[in-house]
Chains A and B, each alone.
Chain A
Amino acid sequence: QSVLTQPPSVSAAPGQKVTISCSGSSSNVGDNFLSWYQQLPGTAPKLLIYDNDKRPSGIPDRFSGSKSGTSATLGITGLQTGDEADYYCGTWDSSLTAYVFGSGTKVLVL
């Protein structure tokens, strides 16, 4: 049972937009910066968004992040077949003193 809640899957046609939610509590999402990770099939996770809404070098601006209170959202615009992957949110939990991940969301490009 993951501490952070994400929808199991989202889908859209190529070129369209999807959003993925990440819901937590005051001790994790509400208290710390949030990151998003992309895991392509058979590969290690890769940092996609950090500090709620910042993109590392090389990440296209089709990917965006936002946070409000104890929830966060990852947005992907101009969906491409190469975006098919699992996406995880993650942050520190100040009460558990542990890093916590979301349950993961599979993005399907129809």
Chain B
Amino acid sequence: QVQLVQSGAEVKKPGASVKVSCKASGYTFTRYYIHWVRQAPGQGLEWMGRINPNTGVTRYAQKFQDRVTVTRDTSINTAHMDLTRLTSDDTAVYYCARDFYGSGSPFDSWGRGTLVTVSS
């Protein structure tokens, strides 16, 4: 069955960077886009960006354009999300999710989430 397994929780200091991983299994990794969505405590869902694992082409939300980088390693069916210059506002659960077309098709499978805590 389709699974997206994310890396473990992280605690970072303000100004640092964090890298969250998402390992896919149960389907052909290069046929589905991987998206990153975050949720701050008690808040709603916020889309950060996506990658086409086949081509490596990315698209980011304007809010995160200068701080986020999404990459992939097709040899291990894994996508990564790097977020730099962390502040306390970046404390959130970060989810990866997949969709077929990259622009509007449903997110039909989600990872369990990775809690990133930013604290001095």
Q: Does A35 make an interface contact (CB < 8 A)? A: yes
Secondary structure class of chain A's binding surface, majority of residues: strand
Q: Does A102 contact B (CB under 8 A)?
A: yes
In the complex, what distance in Å separates the CA atom of A103 from the CA atom of B97? Answer: 19
Interface bin, chain A: 20 to 34
Q: Is A33 touching B62 in the complex (CB atoms < 8 A)?
A: no
Which residues of the other chain, B, contact A104 by a CB distance below 8 angstroms? Answer: 44-45
Instruction: Check B107–A37 contact: CB distance below 8 A.
Output: yes
Since A44-B110, A47-B106, A98-B62 are in contact, a sample of 4 more A-B pairs with Cβ atoms closer than 8 Å, ordered by chain A residue number, is A35-B107, A47-B108, A50-B105, A101-B44
Which A residues are closer than 8 A to B by beta carbons?
A: 2, 32-33, 35, 37, 39, 43-47, 50-51, 56, 86, 88, 90-92, 96-104
Could you show 11 A-B contacts with beta carbons less than 8 Å apart?
Answer: A37-B107, A44-B111, A45-B95, A45-B97, A45-B110, A47-B107, A50-B106, A90-B45, A98-B59, A101-B47, A104-B44
- Chain B contacts to A: CB under 8 angstroms: 35, 37, 44-47, 50, 59, 61-62, 95, 97, 103-108, 110-113
